[in-house]
Structure 1
Amino acid sequence: MADPDAAGNDVQHGVIAHYRLADCGLGEPGQRQVVRRSQRLLAEAIEQAGVGEFDGNEYGGGEAVLYAYGPDADALFAVMAPVLNDLPFRPAYVVLRHGSVDDPLAPEHRIDL
C-alpha cells in the first residue's frame, strides 16, 4: 500500500515576488540589471539552505516577477526575504503559495514589502 504522506512530499510550494518598475513595459535597463544581480543572490541562498530552487523571472506590464519553489513556502521565504527586501522597487509584494500550482484551492498569503 502506498504511503499517503509520501505523495505530499512532492508538492512544490511557491514564493512569487512582484515589483513595480519605472514604466509600463519591461522597466529600465538598470532596473533589470539590479533584478538579475538579485536573482543570482537568491539562487545561491536557496541552494545553500537546501529549501528549494529559484525558477526565474518574468517582465511585462511594468512589473518584474520572481519565482521560487520548494517543499515549504515559509522556509523558502525566510531564506529569500533579506534579498527581496533589498530590492529598491516599490510597491512590491510576495505571494506565498502553500500547495501545488495545479491546486486552485491551495492557500495563498500575501506579504507587502
Structure 2
Amino acid sequence: MDTLFALPEPETPEQAVIAHYRLSDDQYGSRAEREAIFDAERAMAAAVAEAGVGEVDGNEFGGGEAVLYAYGADAEALFKVMEPTLRSLPFRSAYAVLGQGSRETESRVEL
C-alpha cells in the first residue's frame, strides 16, 4: 500500500506536578523566601533526575506567589520523589496540582 507520509506513533501524554506557595508580600516575596525556593528547586531537580521520573522545569514568582513546575510520564511517581522537599518549605498556604493528562484527572494535594 502506498502512503503519502508516515504518521508518528502517539506519544505518552506528559504529566505535571505544579506546586504553589503563598509568599510574605503581594509581589515576589523576600530574598530569603526566593533563595529557599531556588534551593528546593535544585534539590528536587537532582532527586527527580536520579530517580529518572522526569524533570523539574523551573519556577515563577509574582502576585505574592511562587510556583514550581515539574513534568514526567507519571505525576504520582514524580510527586512521590518531590514530596519531602515540597513539604519542607515553610510557606503556607501551599498546594500541588498533579496533572495527569486532562482537567478531569487533575488532583490537588495540600502541602
- Structure 1-normalised TM-score? 0.88
Aligned mates of 2:95, 2:21 — CA distance in 1:
7
1:70-109 per-position Cα deviation (integer Å, ceiling 9, x unaligned): 000000000000000000100100000001xxx5x45210
Three-state SS of the structure 2 residue aligned to 1:83 is: helix
**5+ residue gaps, structure 2:** 1-5
**Hey, what does 1:68 align to over in structure 2?**
70
**Hey, what does 2:10 align to over in structure 1?**
7
**Hey, what does 1:40 align to over in structure 2?**
42
**5+ residue gaps, structure 1:** none
1:1-59 per-position Cα deviation (integer Å, ceiling 9, x unaligned): 979xx5242x1100000000000000001100010000100100000000000000000
Aligned mates of 1:38, 1:71 — CA distance in 2:
22
Aligned mates of 1:30, 1:80 — CA distance in 2:
21
Q: How many residues align?
A: 106
% identity of equivalent residues:
51
User: Which amino acid is 2:110 matched to?
Assistant: D
Q: Pick one of 97, 100, 107 that aligns with 2:99.
A: 97
Aligned mates of 2:16, 2:108 — CA distance in 1:
12
CA RMSD of aligned residues (A): 1.7
Larger radius of gyration: 2
- Structure 2-normalised TM-score? 0.89
Segments ≥4 residues shifted beyond 2 Å: none
Aligned mates of 1:57, 1:7 — CA distance in 2:
29
Residue pairs, 1:46-85, within 5 angstroms: 46-85=48-87
